[in-house]
Amino acid sequence: MKKIIFLLAFLLLFSGCTQKKVEYIPGMLMESHLDFTPYSEKGFSFTPYEYMGEYDGIGIINIKVYPKAEYKVKNLVNPEDAKLYEGVMVDRVWVQGKINPELLLDMAYNKAVAMGADAITSLNLNPIENWVYVDLTIYGLQLTGFAIKRK
């Protein structure tokens, strides 16, 4: 009898801990582009491919960028009200900033030019993760490439 009561209590306790069933996921269209024109006008080249002409290898470019993250009160309509919740236990959520991929291009361009390069080949731009602790993973971008001086 004790086993049955324990089992019923267990079932009642954990019956409300189930996740809501996903019944609909809307369609999504995502578009992105990077404009190399400002760099091309300066005689600099970005390419995801190998350069087939003659060149001098200058170095490897590797840049990682992570956005800032703030621990904010969830569903807060007026940001000024955040001061009211300081030190109070309320539902909070991590809000991550945005990253402009063109920032990475500018950084890579400036670094390559400083190294004496006039092109970056084998260009890759990939999403990356940085696990900070249990409930926070920050998502960033990584740009890698091979800086060269074309002949």
* 24-77: pLDDT as tens digits: 888 988 888 899 999 999 999 999 999 999 999 999 999 999 999 887 766 655
pLDDT grade, residue 79 (50/70/90)? Answer: low
pLDDT above 90 covers a percentage of the chain that reads 54
Does a structural domain hold residue 79?
Answer: no
Q: Distance between CA 28 and CA 84 in Å, rounded?
A: 37
Average confidence score pLDDT of the chain: 84
144: domain range?
Answer: 35-66+101-150
Angle at 135 between CA 80 and CA 31, to 5 degrees: 75
**Positive or negative torsion for Cα 98, 137, 122, 32:** negative
Does a structural domain hold residue 119?
Answer: yes
CATH number of the domain residue 111 falls in: 3.30.110.70
Q: Which residue has the higher pLDDT, 16 or 122?
A: 122
Does a structural domain hold residue 110?
Answer: yes
Does a structural domain hold residue 11?
Answer: no
pTM for this prediction: 0.70
Residue with tokens 């954990």: 14
Q: List Cα–Cα distances, 128 to 87, 121, 125, in angstroms.
A: 33, 20, 10
Does a structural domain hold residue 93?
Answer: no
105 backbone dihedrals φ, ψ, rounded to 5°: -60, -45
Does a structural domain hold residue 41?
Answer: yes
Provide the number of structural domains found in the chain: 1
